[in-house]
Amino acid sequence: DAKTTQPNSMESNEEEPVHLPCNHSTISGTDYIHWYRQLPSQGPEYVIHGLTSNVNNRMASLAIAEDRKSSTLILHRATLRDAAVYYCILRDAGYQKVTFGTGTKLQVIP
């Protein structure tokens, strides 16, 4: 299974942009890149996903490298509610099976 590598933790000041990196050098052509986040004592929450092109939604933006071996989740203005563990995930197009990385714990400083 393809694996992802993320920094264990990151800090950001409130209302500043945050760039969360993810390496997935063994990604296959049919793997979609998904990001989920998990707040304390809750199940993971979907954030965004993409295949090749950069994606934007109301929560975040996803920048995907041209060779697809890395991606970056961008939170445009971090708030205290964004403090969570962020998981970069690869999902095969044909199945729901996913490979979760270790995640990045984001701390937002007021």
Partner 1 sequence: KAGVTQTPRYLIKTRGQQVTLSCSPISGHRSVSWYQQTPGQGLQFLFEYFSETQRNKGNFPGRFSGRQFSNSRSEMNVSTLELGDSALYLCASSLNTGKPYEQYFGPGTRLTVT
Note the residues at the interface with partner 1 (CB under 8 A): 32, 34, 36, 41-46, 49, 51, 87, 91, 93-103
| Nearer Cβ to partner 1 (8/110) | 8
Q: Smallest gap, in angstroms, from Cβ of residue 83 to partner 1?
A: 18
Q: For residue 61, give both structure tokens.
A: 């933006």
- Do residues 63 and 54 make contact, with C-beta atoms less than 8 angstroms apart? yes
Three-class SS of 2-45? CCCECCCEEEEECCCCEEEEEECCCCCCCEEEEEEEECCCCCCE
By C-beta, is 95 or 110 nearer to partner 1?
Answer: 95
Smallest gap from Cβ 11 to partner 1, in A, equals 21
Q: Which is nearer to partner 1, 14 or 36 (CB)?
A: 36
The amino acid that residue 35 corresponds to is W
